[in-house]
Structure formats: structure tokens, C-alpha cells
Structure 1
């Protein structure tokens, strides 16, 4: 599977991932102490939703554009507001920001970020999108290698986002090994792993294997229609190791609202499971 950012920018998977990322970073901001963000597969940073890649799939129309055109009301809308503010600040609806720009928008002067991107062209685009900002650093390196190199951060607080394109057959194995290596070096960090759920049994096995090694995990999946062969991706998931204690309750509010708003057809649903510590 090839799931490069530019082809799917602003789709329902991005909405789930970035809404959860925003809530987790807002929790880290509650304390004055600095935090570090590490993004293992950072991408180019900013995506033109009218560009040839995004326009080919036009997935943003069933993702972020639904939220911008018709805001979610009530408590869920309040929880989504900081995420949507960051998206608008980056130039939506023409442009959609990747995880690095969303993190940058939420960082304070004392916070720092390391964005790993192996492809030189994407890394160049990311540096341009981030601008001159001493708080952030873009490194042209394999993200799994970067994770091992950059943990534990000196701040001792923070979040790792593992968001690979799933273009390699061994992607799950690499993500598993890298995450466990990171946990051994930085057991107190929050780790957020994204996955496109094409084969539920594979995703289930991956989550169970991680939970066996790191019992404090929260899994959330969003399905926008019943999966069908030959159809676009219909289900996406996040596995969050050491989630902020408020995140589960916030996602209990967000997931039903996102499922209703982003549904593409029959079979739309959400799934949540907690492993280990509450």
C-alpha cells in the first residue's frame, strides 16, 4: 500500500489523526515545562488541495472540507476548534497542513520539535513551510532511525508521531520494532501510531502485540463506510501509547460526531478499546 501524504491530504484519516494530535498537544501545554514533538514521517508540511496529487483523489471533500463548510456543533465542535483554527491559519480550504505545521502552531516558545523526512524534495518543502523557526528542526533521515536517535529528549516530556506511508511490506514490523526501542529509551513519552486499516486482522494483531509490551494503550478507529474491495480506504486507526488521561474522554465525544459528519455510506462506525491502565 502506498499512502503518501500528498495524495490523501485532508481526508478522513487526516482529520482523526490531527484532531487527536491537537488534543494531546493541548494537554502537554497545561504545564509550563517544555515538551518535545518527534514526527518520524513528517512529509512536505503543506499540501495544495487543488494540486495534481490531491485533486486526483479529491478525498478532502469528504474530510476536512466537510468540517470547514459545516462546523460540528456542541461539545465536539468545541474540542475540534483548535485543530480547525490551525488548519485555517495554514491556508485552508486551499491548503492543508501536515502534522508538523499543526504541531508548530500549538508549540510555545519553550517547546521543541524534530521532524524526520527521508525524501529530499519533501524535506525541502517542509523547511520552506515551517519558515525560520528556531524551535523546529527538519532532518533528512529514515524516521525509524531518527526515533532511536532522538529519544529520550532533554525535555523528558512530549509526543512521538509514527505516521508511515505503508509502502513497504515490512512496515508493521519496522513500526513495532522502532516503537519498542523508543519505549525502552523513553518509557514516559506518549507515542501515537497511525495505520490505514485495510486488513483488520493485521491491525488487530499489531495493536495486541504493542499492548502486550506497553499495556497503557488506547486504540481508536474511524470507519466512514463498510469496506469494499476496489473502493478507497474506509477505515483508519490510531494506537496511542501512554495517552493523556483526558484524551479518552475527549475522543468519546469526538468520535460519534466525526462518524456522523464524515460518513460516506452505510457501515460508518467508530471503535475504541483501552488496554491496561486506565
Structure 2
């Protein structure tokens, strides 16, 4: 496990993923019934953008660094308010901390992190948060072990693997089938990198052929995806998106495209209901 997200925290891909995540989580707050969030690749939960790792790459400067002065009426404001609440932009919140800040007492957050040191940091972050649990375990094994949740019928599963090992797209496709059989009512959000189009198209075709229904993709491209050695963009595949999410995702990505000077932003239906 060589990947450490601290080098990439706050970059354009994080901004895109986290703005969309906050939109997804916000849809659960309209009803009092409890919900669960399972973050399968949780990381440390918070990152110091003035730390050695973040400054070594400087990726955050062209991501969250460009968003500090967004207007209060910006579509990005709900997410940016949480970033500031967590100590940002210097201390940038990852997905588990953003989710934790949005939970009500009746809701639950389960974080899985395989890297031992990151898991210890994550455990310290949530040591006094009663409705959050932290596991040092493989993400794909966790789906079989932790689903379905007890006494909770609503949930969001976020899968954000590092894509440092071959076969990640195939494992994600299989994971969706596991979720489908064990927690069919869950919303599933899967982040994926866009370097060049061939592996992304193959992944999306596999999802479309798998029998999973009601799937959309949201993508932000910083440049045309021609160079397989560069992270040219990122996407979020969402299964069972909440009502109104597609429209809100379009507003969020359009704003990110403008502020981050991106090449393109799209929200598309991959599989209809």
C-alpha cells in the first residue's frame, strides 16, 4: 500500500468528488429516518495542505486554492462551508469528515481504511464521535462483512479506491453486484480517474451490461484525455441518484469548470431507471 492521499488532497479531483458528495448527503436530510454512510477507502479524514506531502506536489493550489473566495450564493457554498468548518482551506477535510459533519444523532458513519497509519489517524480523528466507527480492513471484504446494516434502510456507499493496482475497475464492477444483493436500496457513488478513455469506457460498458439500473456519471476534465500518464480528469458514477441530483451536479460541475479553468464538465445518464 504505497498510495498516500496526503500528496493529492484538495486537488481538482477532490473538489469535484467532495462537492458532489455533499449534494448526495444533503438529500438524506429531508427525512427524519436515519441513514448510514459507508466510506470504503476513507484515508485519514483531514489533511494539512501546508504539510510536507501536500506541498511536495502542490496540487491543491489549482484545486481548493482557487475556491477560497467563492460567493455565499455559489452552488459550491454548502461544501465550502463544511471545508471552513473543518479548519480549511489549510486543513482540508476528506470524505469521512465531511460526512461526519453532516450526520444527525440518529445517523451512522462507517469508515474503512487498509493503510495502518492512516487508520490510526482516522481513529484519533473520530475517537469522540459516538456514531462513527473505524475499521482497518479491505474495502471489498467490508461490503460482505458490514452489509446490510442493522435497523437502517437508507444509506450511501462511497467507493474511492487509489487505482494503484491493476484490475480496480473490474473489482468495482463486482462490488456493485455485492451491494445489489446485500443492500439494494443504497445509493452508491464510485469515484474513478480519467487518464484516457479506453479503460473508462470499458468500465461503463461493464456496468451497463451488469443489470444495474438508474446510473449516471458526472465528469470533470481538466484537459482532453489523451495522455495515459496524466490524471486528465475524474468522474463519479452514481447508482440510484436522489431526485434532483443530476440538475444540482450539473450546476456544481459548471461552476468548477469555470473557476478551475477546466476543459469540460458533463453529467450523463449511463443506464436509465
Counterpart in the other structure of 1:218: 216
TM-score, normalised with respect to structure 1: 0.92
Is this contact kept in 2: 1:66–1:261, CA < 8 A?
Answer: yes
- 1:190/1:240 contact within 8 Å kept: yes
* 1:217 positional shift: 0.3
Q: CA deviation at 1:3?
A: 5.7
Alignment of structure 1 residues 20-59 onto 2, 5 Å: 20-59=20-59
Distance 1:130 1:82 in 2: 22
Q: Matched residues in 2 for 1:147 and 1:5: separation?
A: 22
**In structure 1, distance between residues paired with 2:179 and 2:144:** 6
Q: Residues 134, 32 of structure 1: CA spacing in aligned structure 2 closer, same or farther, 3 A cutoff?
A: same
Q: Secondary structure at the match of 2:26?
A: helix
Alignment of 1:195 onto 2:203: no
- Distance, in Å, in 2 between the alignment partners of 1:173 and 1:6 is 26
> What number of residue pairs does the alignment pair up?
270
CA distance in 1, matches of 2:44, 2:176: 23
Answering whether residue 149 of structure 2 is matched by residue 145 of structure 1, we say: no
The residue that corresponds to 1:177 in the other structure is 174
Is the Cα–Cα contact under 8 Å of residues 217 and 243 in structure 1 kept in the other structure?
A: yes
Deviations 1:47-96 (A, max 9, x none): 1111111111111111112111x30575xx1x322211111111112111
Structure 2 CA distance for aligned equivalents of residues 46 and 261 of structure 1? 23
* Residue number in structure 1 paired with 2:271: 276
- 1:6 equivalent in structure 2: 6
TM-score by length of 2: 0.94
Task: Tell me the SS of whatever aligns to 2:114.
Answer: coil
Contact 1:148 1:178 in 2 (8 A): no
Question: Does residue 71 of the first structure (1) align with residue 75 of the second (2)?
Answer: no
Rounded to whole Å, the distance in 2 between the matches of 1:11 and 1:232 is 14
Taking the aligned partners of 2:190 and 2:174, their CA distance within structure 1 comes to: 12
* Cα distance in 1 for residues equivalent to 2:71 and 2:238: 24
Q: Offset of 1:271 from its aligned partner? A: 2.1
Alignment of 1:218-237 (within 5 A): 218-227=216-225, 229=227, 232-237=230-235
Q: Retained in 1: the 8 A contact 2:196–2:226?
A: no
1:262 maps to 260
Deviations 1:147-175 (A, max 9, x none): 22112223110100000011111211111
SS of 1:29's equivalent in the other structure is helix
Tell me if 1:111 matches 2:107: yes
**189-198 or 47-56, which deviates more:** 47-56
Matched residues in 1 for 2:259 and 2:160: separation? Answer: 24
Check 1:169–1:231 CA distance in 2 against 1; reply closer, same or farther (3 A cut).
closer
| Partner-residue secondary structure (3-state), 2:248 | helix
> Relative to 1, partners in 2 of residues 1:244 and 1:3: Cα closer, same or farther, differing over 3 Å?
farther
